Amino acid sequence: MCGIYGYIGKLNAYEKVLEGLKLLQYRGYDSCGIAYYGNGFQINKAIGTLDNLEKVDKETKIAFGHTRWATNGAVNINNTHPHVSFDKAFTIVHNGIIKNADSIKDSLIKQDIAFYSDTDTEVIANLLAYLPGKIDNRVKQLFNILEGSYSLIIGYKNGDIYLVKKFSPLNLLQAEDGIYISSDISSLKQGELYTMQDNDIIKISKNSISNITNHQMNFVKHENSIKAYTLGKFKHYMQKEIYETPISIENTYYYLKNQKIRKIFKHYNKFTFIGCGTAYHSCLVGERLFREKLKYEANSELASNYELNKSISRHHLHIIVSQSGETADCIKVAEKIRACHGKLLLITNEPTSTIARMADYLILTKANKELAVASTKTYCCQLFVFAYICHVLKDKNYDINICQFTKILNDYMTNIKVTSLVEKLQSSDKMILIGRDIDYISLLEASLKIREIDYIYTIPMYSGELKHGTLSLIDENSNILALNTSDDIDKLEVVKNEIESRGGSVIFIDKLYRIDKSIDEYYKPIFSIIPFQILSYEIAISKGYNPDMPKNLAKSVTVE
């Protein structure tokens, strides 16, 4: 779950890699490092973000680097990438995880090879140094020895660069000023792009490129998408992305309007929705709509749990939702679905992702790049996709006045003021979120936002369940946020009285931020989650937290 970036070319490679890594910090920001060539590879490392890296004035034409989210080993300078082999011949950065690293390490230690980190990456470096034979053949042997997922940039002491990919994304781009390497396509400038395939090894030597595994390399034109990384008038990416929701939904609508949705779904009436985290919450909404509005057989599964299923039904359409299309748990499920000859639909924001290449069907959320760790606009686009699909499957002539819809949404968002709520809630150490029916799903997502951005313990629950145990937590310090987008308020009023009689206070979010009555019920979950997104952002700001980079987290979870 790390970002890797490299450059070989005419310009200052160190500066180009530093620029590239800044675009990848959403993938990890525990520590960072850059290797740059000049009479062998030299290394510059730092704990924390790239701002902590010392400036290097030396001109260099070859460099590669890494921004880390810790998986193997604590956050310290010894565990920070790049890693160097015991003989100083190999310098490596790595995204992924090596499952058999411990056994390889034990065997190398028996050969009196010293280790200075707790990482699986140093194991790869020392393994390469220990293996006999020509360098090309040593690199090829990695596929026979290493178990797990990995994308690697390997620098050899003579300046040659090797790119290795297995189950973890890595991309190569040729531009006029040089060769660019990145674990995320969207961080690359305009040029000719090659998306590496599994078991690819590419060698770059004196600006020449060769695939030493003899795979055909098909380069395609890549347009520059880096402007998505600019903040403009906003202070943080999370804030920017929340307010990009209306245009993201509008773009998604025009994309969906040109897709043959009924053709994808016409052979199925049983559906399994699969996702992780925020994407799983959108799955729960999709399941509810398919089951209650279309009367289909539908269920939702967490990808990390569904992988354990011993059988995959060929009669279901499996719908994986993944913002990045690189979520490791979802990739494992996709592999299992393919092995069992099941059918897979992917809903994603990244059309060139690993799961996208595995799917039978693909539906995109056209949200542009999302960089903040907390997913906001892509979640709303996922909800829109499910609502729109349900309408189209019910009525082949269905359409929505998207201009009117996004105007209502823009006006709604403009009127969301949370200052008084922030003042009341910022010192909370716990919150209870209550609602019924589909509102409960919105509260699951709201709870996740408050936990991951504000570090406040939240308990989302069905309102009717409060009296079955959790009411024991209520006192005069308790803050309860309630959501009720249906017309039935009687039962929530009863719960409100139960809470207030014990000294707690209840805030009805739907009363503070009323949803326009013209909004179709299928689309209401989009409106009900946005106040919580804005609230979680503003609480984080009030507490001095960086909402884009919450502690212990990273954006694209590419490890299990």
* Per-residue pLDDT at 508 exceeds 60: yes
* Per-residue pLDDT at 338 exceeds 80: yes
Instruction: Tell which wins on pLDDT, 473 or 371.
Output: 371
124-132: list long-range contacts, CB under 8 Å, 24+ apart: 124/83, 124/92, 124/94, 124/98, 124/150, 124/152, 125/83, 125/84, 125/85, 125/90, 125/91, 125/92, 126/85, 126/86, 128/85, 128/89, 128/90, 128/92, 128/154, 129/85, 129/86, 129/87, 129/89, 129/90
Asked if residues 268 and 317 have their Cβ atoms less than 8 Å apart, the reply is yes
Mean pLDDT value across residues 109-124: 95
The CA distance from 423 to 401, in Å, is 38
* Per-residue pLDDT at 559 exceeds 60: no
Nearest in space to 525 (alpha carbons), one of 533, 452, 327? 533
The CA distance from 549 to 554, in Å, is 7
Measured CA distances, 206 to 60, 89, 159, 167, 523 (Å): 13, 18, 8, 28, 55
Which amino acid makes up residue 303? A
Q: In the numeric block, which tokens belong to residue 227?
A: 């402007």
> For 370-420, how does the pLDDT look when each residue is reduced to its tens digit (9 = 90+)?
999 999 999 999 999 999 999 999 999 999 999 999 999 999 999 999 999
Q: Is the Cα torsion angle 463, 467, 473, 477 positive or negative in sign?
A: positive
pTM of the model: 0.87
> For 1-24, how does the pLDDT look when each residue is reduced to its tens digit (9 = 90+)?
688 999 999 999 999 999 999 888
User: Reduced to 3 DSSP states, what percent helix, strand and coil does the chain have, rounded to the nearest 5?
Assistant: 40, 25, 40
Note the pLDDT of residue 557: 62
Nearest in space to 56 (alpha carbons), one of 15, 7, 16? 15
Beta strands in 111-222 (DSSP E): 148-156, 161-166, 171-175, 178-182, 191-195, 200-205, 208-211, 220-222
* Per-residue pLDDT at 312 exceeds 70: yes
The CA distance from 395 to 398, in Å, is 5
Note the pLDDT of residue 70: 81
From 188-202, 270-284, 462-476, the region with the lowest mean pLDDT: 462-476
Q: Helix or strand or coil: residue 271? A: strand
The CA distance from 334 to 351, in Å, is 15
Instruction: Tell which wins on pLDDT, 29 or 160.
Output: 160
The CA distance from 106 to 247, in Å, is 54
> Which residue in the list 16, 336, 524, 555 is annotated as catalytic?
555
Nearest in space to 523 (alpha carbons), one of 301, 249, 322, 276? 249
Q: Which domains does the chain have, with CATH numbers?
A: 3-226 (3.60.20.10), 230-410 (3.40.50.10490), 415-549 (3.40.50.10490)
pLDDT bracket for residue 560 (50, 70, 90) = low
Known catalytic residue: 551?
no
The CA distance from 409 to 26, in Å, is 28
The CA distance from 219 to 197, in Å, is 12
β-bridge mates for residue 431, sequence order: 458
Asked if residues 211 and 217 have their Cβ atoms less than 8 Å apart, the reply is yes
pLDDT bracket for residue 487 (50, 70, 90) = low
The CA distance from 523 to 76, in Å, is 46
* Per-residue pLDDT at 529 exceeds 60: yes
Query: Degrees (nearest 5) of the Cα angle 438, 440, 442?
Result: 80
Instruction: Tell which wins on pLDDT, 470 or 531.
Output: 531
Asked if residues 381 and 254 have their Cβ atoms less than 8 Å apart, the reply is no
Nearest in space to 14 (alpha carbons), one of 82, 71, 111? 82
* Per-residue pLDDT at 265 exceeds 90: yes
318 φ, ψ (degrees, to nearest 5): -90, 125
Asked if the bond preceding 82 is cis, omega within 30° of 0, the reply is: yes
The CA distance from 80 to 90, in Å, is 16
Query: Degrees (nearest 5) of the Cα angle 549, 187, 240?
Result: 45
> For 160-212, how does the pLDDT look when each residue is reduced to its tens digit (9 = 90+)?
999 999 988 899 999 999 999 999 888 888 899 999 999 999 999 976 899 99
pLDDT bracket for residue 25 (50, 70, 90) = confident
Note the pLDDT of residue 172: 96
pLDDT bracket for residue 126 (50, 70, 90) = very high
103 φ, ψ (degrees, to nearest 5): -70, -40
Which amino acid makes up residue 455? Y
DSSP state of 226: G
Nearest in space to 355 (alpha carbons), one of 372, 373, 376, 338? 338
The CA distance from 285 to 302, in Å, is 14
Averaged pLDDT of the chain: 91
Note the pLDDT of residue 186: 82
pLDDT bracket for residue 57 (50, 70, 90) = confident
> Which residue in the list 2, 276, 330, 380 is annotated as catalytic?
2
Nearest in space to 201 (alpha carbons), one of 180, 170, 157? 170
* Per-residue pLDDT at 235 exceeds 90: yes
Instruction: Tell which wins on pLDDT, 68 or 153.
Output: 153
Asked if residues 172 and 209 have their Cβ atoms less than 8 Å apart, the reply is yes
- The contacts of residue 191 (CB under 8 Å, 6+ apart) are 173, 174, 175, 176, 180, 222
Note the pLDDT of residue 500: 80
* Per-residue pLDDT at 32 exceeds 60: yes
> For 442-461, how does the pLDDT look when each residue is reduced to its tens digit (9 = 90+)?
999 999 999 999 999 999 99
Note the pLDDT of residue 366: 95
Percentage of the chain modeled with pLDDT above 70: 96
Known catalytic residue: 2?
yes
Note the pLDDT of residue 307: 67
